[in-house]
Amino acid sequence: MAANEIDVFANEEKRTLDLGGHVGFDSLPDQLVSKSVAQGFCFNILCVGETGIGKSTLMNTLFNTTFENEEASHYESDVQLRPQTYDLQESNVNLKLTIVHTVGFGDQINKEESYKPILEYIDAQFERYLEEELKIRRSLFNCHDTRIHICLYFIAPTGHSLKSLDLVTMKKLDSKVNLIPVIAKADTVSKSELDKLKIKIMSELVSNGVQIYQFPTEDEAVAEINSSMNTHLPFAVVGSVDDVKVGNKMVKARLYPWGSVQVENENHCDFVKLREMLLRVNMEDLREQTHARHYELYRRCKLEEMGFKDTDPDSQSFSLQETYEAKRKEFLLDLQRKEEEMRQMFVNKVKETEAELKEKEKELHERFEQLKRMHQEEKRNLEEKRRELEEEMNAFNRRKVAAETLMGQALQGCSQPFKKDKDKKNGCFCERVLMLLNNNTDLSRYSRLITLMHYFHWT
């Protein structure tokens, strides 16, 4: 009954009462302004473009300062995002500015590897903010909000249309961040070609379903200027931090042999339009769109993954405790199922390993038996060869003893006197025979020498 009464009162038409005097709550906007100024603001810019296209120069020109930035090369193996945070002050307003550069973008052949790190970085900043929201003790006002508020996509004016890398990347980014395409280094293209290039780019974006950020027209104060600026997209910009003397004044410009291109001259480029729309008119809308549209989409998807859901006006409200318990039970059941699968997988793996080990053991045993048989066979052959060698050595020793005996007899016969005409000849021959016997072990030659010695001895 109480709930029905609340619904009835809520549906009743609200009444407007006239005040009898000044109360003071008309100062609430001033209070909000004072509080916001005291707290400060943050603004995060993501610069996506190829190396050397002029991202850092445009940021320096946009904020009329020089940011410290490391120069990148064309030899990066992958895309790296380098955020740099600066504290800026203008009048009494403090701004914490974060500029994120995509180092190495466009230098890879694989287009997926070019845009994927950018998407991961944007989601990581949303995840960081969501974690802070889900804490028991939150401090959203004190934490540094790193969510990307605006993405400036730099298009190279080197062709007559967008590259496939540009279309793929912008298509992936348009649902995650406020996207504004800009034509960099617009002074390299003539005025007529630049107008044709703008029309071609917008036509390709529309035909491929790429949704870029449109300046809001709901507020009457900025509706007219935003409507006109929406027709100038994409902005053709030129950046420069050099002061050049034009006439009697110093201006930001790029000096060429044929003349100069003034950065803040709207007849030369759209830099002034970009700065007005980005910083002076629509900065708060960019911050609001990031929170209300892109972050809310990410948050909704994450909470739906966690099991939370919205209730219709006609349906009953749900309990967070019950949802948490149901999700926890589901998680535990899923964890138990995965543990059982891992256990079964481990058992199967153990069985497979045991079967493989048994097979290896069987192969090793067969190999051992084969080597054992080979060893026994080689041992028998070795024993047989040893016996043959021993027999040959015994026969050799017997022949040697016989030869030494014959040699002794020959020497004894040579020592007897011979006839005078043969003494000299036989003596020399005996010496040669002894030398040959001492230096030769051939038994067949032994026998021939002994025969010759007997011949000379008995002649």
Average pLDDT of the segment spanning 219-227: 85
Residue 389 lies in a domain: no
Predicted local distance difference test score (pLDDT) of residue 377: 92
What's the CA gap between 221 and 369, in Å, rounded?
99
pLDDT band at 452; cut points 50, 70, 90: low
CB 318 within 8 A of CB 309: yes
What's the CA gap between 47 and 274, in Å, rounded?
14
Residue pLDDT, tens place only, 262-315: 888 888 888 888 898 888 888 999 999 999 999 999 998 888 877 666 655 555
Residue 282 lies in a domain: yes
Residue 279 lies in a domain: yes
Residue pLDDT, tens place only, 393-429: 998 888 888 888 888 887 776 565 544 445 555 555 5
Average pLDDT of the segment spanning 147-170: 87
Contacts within 8 Å (CB) and 24+ apart, 272-280: 273/229, 273/232, 273/235, 274/62, 274/180, 274/182, 274/235, 274/237, 275/62, 276/225, 276/229, 277/215, 277/226, 277/229, 278/62, 278/150, 278/180, 279/62
Residue 395 lies in a domain: no
Predicted local distance difference test score (pLDDT) of residue 1: 45
Average pLDDT of the segment spanning 317-345: 82
CATH of residue 115: 3.40.50.300
Find where tokens 């348009």 sit.
174
Residue 69 lies in a domain: yes
**Residue 153: exposure state from Cβ atoms within 10 A (0-12, 13-18, ≥19):** buried
What's the CA gap between 53 and 64, in Å, rounded?
19
- Please indicate whether residue 264 or residue 389 has the higher confidence score (pLDDT): 389
Q: What is the DSSP string of 144-191?
A: ------EEEEEE-TTSSS--HHHHHHHHHHTTTS-EEEEESSGGGS-H
CB 165 within 8 A of CB 106: yes
Residue 345 lies in a domain: no
Quick one: tokens of 123? Answer: 């989601």
Quick one: tokens of 394? Answer: 């015994």
Average pLDDT of the segment spanning 75-80: 77
What's the CA gap between 228 and 297, in Å, rounded?
29
Predicted local distance difference test score (pLDDT) of residue 3: 46
Q: Vertex 371, ends 368 and 377: CA angle to 5°?
A: 140
CB 195 within 8 A of CB 233: no
| Residue burial 177-206, b: 16+ Cβ < 10 Å; e: rest | bbbbbbbbbbbebeeeebeebbeebbeebe
Average pLDDT of the segment spanning 329-336: 87
What's the CA gap between 306 and 145, in Å, rounded?
23
**Following CA atoms 137, 139, 140, 141 in sequence, which dihedral angle do they give, to the nearest 10 degrees?**
150
Quick one: tokens of 87? Answer: 């504290």
What's the CA gap between 336 and 343, in Å, rounded?
10
Domain tally, the chain: 1
Domain that holds residue 112: 29-241+267-306
Residue 347 lies in a domain: no
What's the CA gap between 235 and 103, in Å, rounded?
23
CB 81 within 8 A of CB 102: yes
What SS3 class is residue 123?
helix
pLDDT band at 450; cut points 50, 70, 90: low
3-state helix, strand, coil in the chain (%, to 5): 55, 15, 30
Average pLDDT, the chain: 81
Is 43's pLDDT higher than 70?
A: yes
Considering the entire predicted model, what is its pTM? 0.66
3-state secondary structure string across 90-111: ECCEEEEEEEEEEECCCCCCCC
pLDDT band at 360; cut points 50, 70, 90: very high
What's the CA gap between 146 and 45, in Å, rounded?
10
Average pLDDT of the segment spanning 165-188: 90
The answer to whether the bond into 117 is cis (omega within 30° of 0) is no
Percentage of the chain modeled with pLDDT above 90:
25
Residue 433 lies in a domain: no
Average pLDDT of the segment spanning 30-47: 87
